């Protein structure tokens, strides 16, 4: 009699482990899909940067450090980066791009430049797409991380080799309040 109870418990544990494993695979694939979607928009922004820098370069001769920082980030090898490195690089890049776009306020001729206006519109569209895909990515990562970190699934996550994933967070500059002078 006891042997049947023990076998039943073992079978239930195996079924539970298989179901958990499948849910980890499913959630991990959703995280990959969400990151891939966001990555498409990040690459679009990545491709806009050289055009923006070239347009700004002629107007903002005194802003070499900002331009240099953005160009150096842009010149890093994006396709060879891990997802975490891509997230970190893009957070830094967002900060640099925001500084460059703010230069338009200091240089009215730049603000009036048609090429700059067009690039600004494209960048705004891409940034909106990044924001939306970032929200989705972070939502999927939150669900995944909850599964990986909560008991009892965290025991099986460790056994199966699943670890928490990084969220795509706003950089320190993006969190700062905008200073408006009237």
CB neighbour burial string for 96-130, b if at least 16 within 10 angstroms, e if fewer: bbbbbbebbeebeebeebeebeebbebbeebbebb
Helix axes 64-75, 2-57, angle to 10 degrees: 140
180: exposed, middle or buried (C-beta count within 10 Å: 0-12, 13-18, 19+)?
A: exposed
Q: What pTM value is reported for the model?
A: 0.76
- What pLDDT, in 10s, does the model give residues 135-167? 999 999 999 999 999 999 999 999 999 999 988
pLDDT band at 61 (very low <50, low <70, confident <90, very high): low
pLDDT, tens only, 3-41: 999 999 999 999 999 999 999 999 999 999 999 999 999
**Cα separation of 169 and 155, whole Å?**
27
DSSP string covering 122-160, please? HHHHHHHHHHHHHHHHHHHHHHHHHHHHSTTHHHHHHHH
Q: Residue 26: enclosing H or E segment and its boundaries?
A: helix 2-57
- The residue extents of the domains of the chain are 1-162
Assigned superfamily of 1-162: LemA-like domain (1.20.1440.20)
136, with CB counted inside 10 A (0-12, 13-18, 19+), is: middle
The more confident residue out of 177 and 180 is 177
**What 3-state DSSP class applies to 90?**
helix
Cα four-point dihedral sign 144, 146, 151, 154? positive
């Amino acid at each position: 009699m006891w042997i049947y109870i023990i076998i039943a418990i073992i079978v239930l544990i195996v079924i539970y482990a298989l179901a958990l494993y499948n849910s980890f695979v499913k959630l991990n694939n959703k995280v990959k899909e969400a990151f891939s979607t966001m990555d498409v928009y990040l690459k679009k922004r990545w491709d806009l940067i050289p055009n923006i820098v070239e347009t700004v370069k002629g107007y903002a001769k005194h802003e070499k450090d900002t331009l240099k920082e953005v160009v150096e980030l842009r010149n890093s090898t994006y396709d060879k980066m891990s997802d975490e490195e891509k997230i970190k690089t893009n957070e830094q890049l967002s900060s640099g791009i925001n500084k460059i776009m703010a230069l338009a306020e200091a240089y009215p001729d730049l603000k009036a430049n048609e090429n700059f206006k067009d690039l600004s519109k494209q960048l705004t569209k891409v940034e909106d797409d990044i924001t939306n895909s970032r929200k989705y990515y972070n939502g999927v990562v939150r669900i995944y991380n909850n599964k990986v970190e909560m008991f009892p699934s965290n025991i099986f996550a460790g056994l199966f080799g699943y670890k928490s994933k990084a969220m795509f967070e706003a950089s320190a500059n993006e969190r700062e309040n905008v200073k408006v002078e009237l």
